[in-house]
Amino acid sequence: MKALTFNVTVPNYLALQVLGRLDRKSYYNGPFSTVRLAQVPEPRLPSRDWVKIKTRLCGFCGSDLNLLMVKDSPMASPFTSFPCIFGHELSGDVVEVGSGVDTCTKGDLVTVNPALSCLPRGISPVCPVCASGRQGNCERFAEGGFSPGMFTGICRDIGGGFAEYLVVHKSQIYHVPHGVSAEAAVLTEPLAVGIQAVLDNRPDDADRVLVIGGGVIGAMIVKAIRGLGIGCTITVAEPSAFNADYVKRSGAEHVVSGNIIDAAEKIAGAKAYKPMLGERIVQGGFHKVFDTVGHSPTLQAALIATAGRGTVSLVGIGNKVTFDPTPLWLKLLTVKGCYGYGYNDMPGGRKHAFEIALELMANRKVSVDDMLTHTFAIEQYRDLIGVNLCKGANKAIKTAVRFAD
């Protein structure tokens, strides 16, 4: 079967540190490319508790782009293994069911929670984090029955969604409800990211909320807030006019393209003070802030613009960051790491973020269909990557590989 594979070696990495600065295409085209289209064997079920899926669509994530351009932090490398078939946002049809599976049948349209936590790894008893319901933050991503990998798509032994077929553990399967298309279902994973970020730092109706970054995850946070019925005021900081227009239509009251501290003054009623040197610091500001970029300048701006005793969720996965911690201690701020998804106490009972995402789509409380702006055949993977390197110019929000029926 055809599959999009990723691999990087030390010589590749060193060569790309030079060639990548000259031409970004070197990362995905040429002798040192980290990603290639390959013919690989169709996967077999690892055990009776696994399911085989024929992929319909697989979304291309910002983390996929960082991976192939070797921008991820080396600190995460113990929890990955290469070469691998990447891709973790997908929808597809069940084509084979292990004898130990009674939660789905052949022909079901499903989406997949990609976390390769204790249950898929055959680890018992499960780790304390998995036992708490946060399998996306499992402590044993490098242990168990197969090679290290935090999720489907970065594990050598378990293929990802950029392939005609893949296998997943029964615990990873979520049925796509009636009325939700395969095109919408492929966006379940990023919507679940947004939902979990919001539930981990849930605003009150009277709060002033700032979302830094109006890309896919920023838009999903806005959609999640509105879909969950939270009446807070939302401001999004986003320089792209294309993305700004989309997040405004998704439910944000204010979109700013300039200085975040100016926005804290004008929109959130903060008061700015000028120090002897450097950037202003404000008192007052936004109660809840979601930084979907995760770089030093955005994290610093987030800390400055947050009101006393407020919370900053670091959603974007950057590399090393540096910042002046003065706002952190001066205003008694909380900075929360935000990654993955899990179970949450909801009015209707305990539900996983994937369940919540699918229910919100099925009940028309959240619409994501219009986010899938570009699809490509797997043979066109270089075009897909090129579009993602210039999303604004291409008016792209979410892109995906579409497999033939």
141 HSE (CA, 13 A, CB side): 23
d(CA 365, CA 2): 37
Question: Domain limits of the chain?
Answer: 2-187+368-402, 191-337
Number of other residues whose CB lies within 10 A of the CB of residue 334 = 12
Helix (H) or strand (E) holding 209: strand 208-212
Nearest to 305 by CA among 283, 274, 290, 325: 283
Q: What amino acid occupies position 146? A: F
Q: What is the pTM of this model?
A: 0.97
Contact (CB, 8 A) for 75 and 81? no
Helix (H) or strand (E) holding 328, with range, is helix 326-330
Element (H, E) at 305: helix 296-305
Mean pLDDT of 216-241: 98
Q: Comparing C-alpha atoms, which of 392, 370, 391 is closest to residue 241?
A: 392
Q: Provide the pLDDT for residue 317.
A: 85
pLDDT score recorded for residue 40: 97
d(CA 257, CA 244): 8
Tokens of 404: 């033939």
The CATH superfamily of 2-187+368-402 is: Medium-chain alcohol dehydrogenases, catalytic domain (3.90.180.10)
Q: What is the CATH number of domain 191-337?
A: 3.40.50.720
What are the tens digits of pLDDT across the range 35-66? 999 999 999 999 999 999 999 999 999 999 99
Contact 310, 299 (CB under 8 A): no
pLDDT tens per residue, range 56-98: 999 999 999 999 998 888 888 999 999 999 999 999 999 999 9
Q: How far apart are CA 188 and CA 210, in angstroms?
A: 23
Contact of 396 with 374, CB cutoff 8 Å:
yes
Nearest to 52, CA basis, from 167, 158, 161? 167
pLDDT digits (tens, 9 = 90+) for 176-216: 999 999 999 999 999 999 999 999 999 999 999 999 999 99
